[in-house]
Amino acid sequence: MILEFFRWLQNTGFATAFRESSLVYPIVLTGHLTGMGLFGGMIAITDMRLLGWAMRSSSITDVVRQLRPWKQIGFVMVVGCGAMLLAAKAELYYHNPFYWTKMTLLMLVGVHALVFHRSVYANTEELDRALKVPVKAKVAACISLFLWVGLVTAGRSIAYWDVPEDIAPVYSSTAPTPAIATANETSLRSRVWSGSKRSLCCVRTTRQKLNGLVST
Amino acid sequence: MQIQIAYDPATNPLNNNEWSFPLLEIIHIVGFAIAMSTIFMVDLRLIGIGMRRRLASQLSKDLAPWTLGGLAAVLMSGPLIFSSDPNMYLNNASFQFKMAALLIALVYQYTIHRKVAFSDPSPVVGALTGIVSVALWVSVVAGGLFIAFV
């Protein structure tokens, strides 16, 4: 059922147009990363403040409250751009174990919020009044840091999973993806490889580019 | 014009196992997220739309070690990633753009941006400084992303 949904998703007019555009796709990727640049470190700073390592001259309340709206904007940016990237090639993501690892971690981020929001992130005044930051808050901070680094790791790993040869995504539109985008994505992907295959591909694409030669 | 240096990527250990390249990319991303967020936090304060409970100078001082730490992670992993295929990068227009933007952004960060933030500027000067900073760092990210697409 999920597979059918993903197939439908990648064949919506929007996803098709997006997949086949050579410019919009990298722009959305940039948005995905800029969003991370906006809020990734803010999460780290919030958690480091709870652990007592960053911004100690500000109260926990100040740090959490001031960062909250910006983290929310960053999160919406990342998820919005991420959803577009998913829609473009949904079926390939469906088969990718790292994609599901990432989604599991994202779900755990939600669970983390359910468990700790009230007692830690929405309870900062009490944390500030306490002589020492309670263990619970520090545990929450550590788990949060692990989850987010895990998310980045799983996210990056998505690109390093070799698509098995028997998986052929069903696209309703047969228009070729722009040659430039495909060529370069392939050269990027071809670094991904198993062992020696990678260095060979890597060297080969470089040489081809430099010499303007077709593979022999 | 093609730039070509005599270097065989196949001899680079980074190209001979599966995990080191993605690991470097992850360090690069986590480092850039920390550096960029902390720079943005100061920028938001300078522009006057966020972090207003602290003076820009205090914020800047509190966050400086995190920015530096993030940048250190980025500037150590980056050249290693570059070493995996230098000729490809050197001839990539987006990479050239990224390096130019990075150089300007770094110099800007540690000269004008730093000076302005430490002086708790007037709203107009602050806003201008902050906006330029955001634009520079977003250019660096975009330049990096487009390496794979130009």
The tens digit of pLDDT for each residue in A172-190 reads 776 655 544 444 444 444 4
Encoded amino acid at A201, one letter: C
pLDDT band at B62 (very low <50, low <70, confident <90, very high): very high
Compute the mean pLDDT over every residue in chain B, rounded to the nearest whole number.
94
CB contacts < 8 Å between A and B, how many?
Answer: 150
Residue A26 token pair: 């990298």
Q: Could you tell me which of A212, A151, A161 has the C-alpha nearest to residue A191?
A: A161
| pLDDT for the residue A207 | 35
Partner residue opposite A40 with nearest CB, options B21, B34, B63: B34
- Nearest CA to CA, how far is B49 from chain A (Å)? 10
For chain A, helix (H) and strand (E) counts, in that order, are 10, 0
Mean pLDDT of B91-108: 97
Mean pLDDT of B132-149: 95
Residues of A in contact with B12 (CB under 8 A): 199
The tens digit of pLDDT for each residue in A95-115 reads 999 999 999 999 999 999 999
The tens digit of pLDDT for each residue in B47-60 reads 999 999 999 999 99
pLDDT band at A168 (very low <50, low <70, confident <90, very high): confident
The tens digit of pLDDT for each residue in B1-41 reads 788 888 888 888 888 888 899 999 999 999 999 999 999 99
Q: Does B32 contact A39 at a Cβ distance shorter than 8 Å?
A: no
CB atoms within 10 A of CB B64: 16
The tens digit of pLDDT for each residue in A117-138 reads 999 999 999 999 998 999 999 9
Mean pLDDT of B71-84: 96
ipTM of predicted complex: 0.89
CA distances from B30 to A39, A136, B106 (A): 11, 25, 18
| pLDDT for the residue A209 | 38
Residues of B in contact with A160 (CB under 8 A): 18, 22
Q: Which long-range contacts (CB under 8 A, 24 or more apart) does A104-109 make?
A: A105/A147, A105/A150, A105/A151, A105/A154, A106/A151, A108/A147, A109/A144, A109/A147, A109/A148, A109/A151
Residues of A in contact with B4 (CB under 8 A): 210
| pLDDT for the residue A200 | 37
Residues of A in contact with B37 (CB under 8 A): 37-42, 44-45
The tens digit of pLDDT for each residue in A194-213 reads 333 344 344 434 433 333 33
pLDDT band at A20 (very low <50, low <70, confident <90, very high): confident
